[in-house]
Amino acid sequence: MRMRKKRHREERLERAGERWIKQPETFRGHWSEAFGNDNPIHVEIGSGKGQFIAQMAQRYPDTNFIAIDVIPDVILMGLELTKDKDYPNLRFIIADAARLEEYFAPAEVERIYLNFSDPWKKKKQAKRRLTHANFLNVYNKVLKKGGYIWFKTDNRALFEFSLNSFCENGFKLSNISLDLHNSDFTENVMTEYEQKFSQQGMPIYRLEATYRGYKELD
């Protein structure tokens, strides 16, 4: 269902101040200027309402976090969720994942989070999945060598597709879980969707994919 445009959206975005990066391409290669430090950069693609990225920013103050979503109203929700606390290491941008190279220089990102991405269930929609080779080819250009993609989903078909996609395109997999909440992984931070699915007793699938150095993917 299409999200209704929020009233006075542009004015509300502007009120977010420095947390909203209106022109992220201007910081390509020197995001340290946006944060005032040289700490590692972690990026969440498809940030939802912002609960995950906000908790991560609070838990890891020595890491810089950037929330990305292509839908302006989604970014606005994240900005307004975080407006009453100090988040010096958190920024939000309205951007398309396919254009990450316009916003980040090669090897500028240490980690990418893909949380409960749209599974695009129809076979003909496979190229839209954020773990399709087309997107992996973009990620591996901005990730540092040895950088990670942390991926979570409730959709078994998407998880199986992603396992194959990562393996076929040169990523090393680790910490694979078919039931995250009953695993021994202790660093999990839940998203809004994850809380909902967990309450319904649905298993959560998770993996970490390590980038092993730049190569052009097929």
CA–CA gap between residue 32 and residue 34 (Å, rounded): 5
CA–CA gap between residue 150 and residue 198 (Å, rounded): 19
The answer to whether 73 is a known catalytic residue is: no
Which entry of 38, 96, 118, 218 is annotated as an active-site residue?
118
Sheet of strand 90-94, all strands in order from the earlier edge strand to the far edge: 90-94, 64-69, 41-45, 109-115, 143-153, 205-210, 172-177
Count Cβ atoms below 10 Å from residue 134 Cβ, excluding itself: 17
CA–CA gap between residue 102 and residue 20 (Å, rounded): 17
Q: Which of 26, 66, 20 is nearest to 43 (CA)?
A: 66
- 125 by DSSP, 3-state: which? helix
H-helix segments, 28-132 = 32-35, 51-59, 72-81, 100-103
Tell me which amino acid residue 92 is.
F
Instruction: Just list the catalytic residues.
Output: 118
